[in-house]
Amino acid sequence: AQKVTQAQTEISVVEKEDVTLDCVYETRDTTYYLFWYKQPPSGELVFLIRRNSFDEQNEISGRYSWNFQKSTSSFNFTITASQVVDSAVYFCALSDVLQGGSEKLVFGKGTKLTVNP
Amino acid sequence: EPEVTQTPSHQVTQMGQEVILRCVPISNHLYFYWYRQILGQKVEFLVSFYNNEISEKSEIFDDQFSVERPDGSNFTLKIRSTKLEDSAMYFCASSEAPSYEQYFGPGTRLTVT
């Protein structure tokens, strides 16, 4: 069965520090997709990134970067020069193909990031 | 930018009552989902819907739950007889195709008293 583990329950940093959120996944599929979502205090889920299992290139988007390592089944997320607005719960998720071709997301338990001024 | 919308934002109901949660997915999306998040916990899959029928449902999605796409834009989740443990945030999501990113609505917070 698919499983996503986010071992860090809560992280607290001071503004401008870099922070890395860990994500480890388990799957028997050879083709799969990984995602990160942000849930700010207002509660909505904001899509950040989707990565397929065949693309191990790291990705950078502004202050955000993602490190995908198939060998260790990890998909870690780094925020550089953190800001107070980055305070949120961050969820890593793995796609699970369902019958009929649709997919569901299997979420980790989330990491609550607090960035203090 | 297109977005998924959900109504109401907060619903309070008494145990045993029926509730209908409404969602308007992004217009060109074909795959629709409901997830729920009990306060402080992870997001859990409930059901996926494609081509006017349920593709898959989780063990949470028992006979008390149903989904419907009554017209070309709305996608609803009905809970027939609510229980205290149904209290949660319910998220609707849609995607263009399988494996594509799922875009989530802002959620409906359901409180069962």
| Inter-chain touch A98–B55, beta carbons under 8 Å | yes
Tens digits of residue pLDDT in B97-109: 877 889 999 999 9
| 3-class DSSP assignment, residue B97 | coil
Categorize the per-residue pLDDT at A58 as very low, low, confident or very high, splitting at 50, 70 and 90. Answer: confident
Task: Report whether A93 contacts A34 (CB < 8 A).
Answer: yes
Query: Of A29, A25, A113, nearest to A68 (Cα)?
Result: A25
Is the Cβ pair B89, A43 closer than 8 Å?
A: yes
Residues of B in contact with A110 (CB under 8 A): 42
Q: What confidence score (pLDDT) does residue A12 get?
A: 98
Confidence bin at A68 (pLDDT 50/70/90): very high
Q: Which residue in chain A has the smallest CA separation from B54?
A: A100
Give CA angle at B48 (B46, B54), nearest 5°. 110
Q: Å from A98 to nearest chain B CA?
A: 7
pLDDT at A25: 97
Residue A114: C-alpha distances to residues A10, A15, A81, B90 (Å): 8, 9, 13, 24
pLDDT at A57 over 90: no
Q: Smallest CA–CA separation between A112 and chain B, in Å?
A: 10
Please say if the pLDDT value at position A20 is more than 70.
Answer: yes
Q: What is the DSSP string of chain A?
A: --EEE---SEEEEETT--EEE--EEE-S-SS-EEEEEEE-TT---EEEEEEETT----EEETTEEEEEEGGGTEEEEEESS--GGG-EEEEEEEEEE-GGG-EEEEE---EEEEEE-
Percent of chain B with pLDDT over 90: 81
Residue A99: pLDDT band with limits 50, 70, 90: low
How confident is the model at residue B99, as a pLDDT? 76
Tell me what pLDDT residue A59 has.
Answer: 87
Measured over the CA atoms of residue A103, residue B23, residue B18 and residue B39, the dihedral's sign is: positive
CB B91 within 8 A of CB A105: no
* pLDDT tens digits for range B27-70: 999 999 999 999 989 999 999 999 889 988 999 999 999 999 98
Smallest Cβ distance to A103: which of B42, B89, B99?
A: B99
